[in-house]
Structure 1
Amino acid sequence: MFFSREKPHLKVLDIGAGYGAFSRLLYERGFSVEACDLFPEHFHFHPVRCHQINLLKKFPFPDKSFDLAVAIEVSEHITDHEMFFSEVARILVPGKRFYISTPNILSLKSRFRFLFTGYFYSFSKLNYDLHDGLQHIASLTLDQYNNVAVSHHFLTAQVNIDKRQKTSVWLKIFLFPLIFSFTKLWKTGGFHNQNSLLLGRLLFLCFEKS
């Protein structure tokens, strides 16, 4: 669990809480939890209150009202990350943290998928008539996440993954000479060719508010 470093009893906002599975886990571990979602009627863990929220608008919470914020598989569904990070920064206490999990579009499996289909891992052709907030519409790299985060008074992300993709592991074995050569040739290539980014299925990002 990528929340394991955090001490219970801190106040947490579960953003895009869905049915409430992660809110329940946090609650059972002793955190003080509030949740929010575009469709709060879908939230089923009643010991925790779920607020209605539109992530493209101002959040319905006071400044510095939470110690931690978490967005599990949310950021790939929204279009305005500037607004998103701005509001999370506003409601967080300085020195506290914002956690994100998102599909890793930088894995070798994802890069090959994009090469041959034009779509990253976990992304597909959009339904232009569907506006329920469930489609994956935003494919940001780690560098792009850091850029948005730093502009809203966060430090750059601490990065972890859920597990290694077997496909990506095999691709790395075959492609290692090319990866090594091009990383040396293009001086900026090393940042997105970190082992965790090349192999991970999901990215876990932790941003600390400065």
Structure 2
Amino acid sequence: MAESGNERERPGLAPRARPEIHRKVKKLLRRLALPQSARVLDVPLGPGAMAEQLRRDGFSAWGADLDLAQSEGLHPSIRRERADLNGPLPFPDQFFDLVLSLEGIEHLENPFQFIREIARVCRPGGYLILSTPNICNLEERLNFLARGTFYRYIPAREFAERGSGFDHQNLMTWVEIRQLLDWNGFSTLGLFRDKIKWKQLVFLGPLGFFLWAFGRLQSRQRREKYCWGETESGPVLFGGSTLIVLAKKEAKRAQ
């Protein structure tokens, strides 16, 4: 993983990720009320801003990333492991009480393997907080209609020069993310936005109301088939730039 949304929170250092993502995640951490002895994994670690926050909050903080040079200088109690996030994570089964993955999954060649590994290292009853660009909000839906793609074309030359993970290689819709979580034993507790995009609400509000009303006219079977209740929700349809997911690992997977 060559790049991450996390940044070391030091005065004078410009953050890579939008600060509102970290603010929302901190609120969710307070909501979970985990014991201070809880083991928490930050993956990808990046420079380690979130891991450092976890340490200051009293958690046992761990991090994994392909590039550990960017996190040199973190407090020694934060245990760092080098790992290609497209493959196995170097941790035992059911080891963590919480896994944080902020702005990472869209950079990976193999998001399916990544979520499988997160599920493996997360204990039953543990939690996952995942953030990724929201390509299902009204603005991005219109962009797709105009461009026919959610993101730019990455030529082979640029990929060869910069390597895997430098850019958004796998932007995912909420339905795709929900499938991955469900297949790996996670139930969704809540969807959250990083911020409210007021211009989107003002200028695209009528379109959003039309889509919401259209969804309400669909049959129950069709709404369930396309997860309409979630894709037309405020955090998704009227969401900000980032979708934040709170999920819980089921103690026993339903058969």
Shared topology, TM-score over 0.5?
yes
| Structure 2 counterpart SS, 1:34 | strand
Q: Measure the CA separation in 2 of the matches of 1:177 and 1:71.
A: 32
Does residue 164 of the first structure (1) align with residue 196 of the second (2)?
yes
Q: Measure the CA separation in 1 of the matches of 2:46 and 2:208.
A: 40
Q: CA deviation at 1:157?
A: 5.0
Q: Measure the CA separation in 2 of the matches of 1:176 and 1:77.
A: 29
CA 1:117–1:91: 2 relative to 1, 3 Å: same
Q: Contact between 2:109 and 2:165, CA under 8 Å: does it hold in 1?
A: no
- Corresponding residue number in structure 1 for 2:29: 3
- Corresponding residue number in structure 2 for 1:192: 231
Q: Measure the CA separation in 2 of the matches of 1:30 and 1:165.
A: 34
Q: Contact between 1:85 and 1:149, CA under 8 Å: does it hold in 2?
A: yes
Task: Pick which of 139-148 and 176-185 moved more.
Answer: 176-185
For 1:137, which of 153, 169, 180 is the aligned residue? 169
- Corresponding residue number in structure 1 for 2:55: 27
- Corresponding residue number in structure 1 for 2:119: 89
Which runs of 5 or more structure 1 residues have no equivalent in the other structure? none
- Corresponding residue number in structure 1 for 2:99: 69
Identity %: 28
Q: Contact between 1:23 and 1:33, CA under 8 Å: does it hold in 2?
A: yes
- Corresponding residue number in structure 1 for 2:10: none
Corresponding letter in the other structure for 1:22: M
Q: Measure the CA separation in 2 of the matches of 1:145 and 1:108.
A: 18
- Corresponding residue number in structure 2 for 1:209: 249
Deviations 1:154-183 (A, max 9, x none): 113521111111232123423245224421
Q: CA deviation at 1:139?
A: 1.8
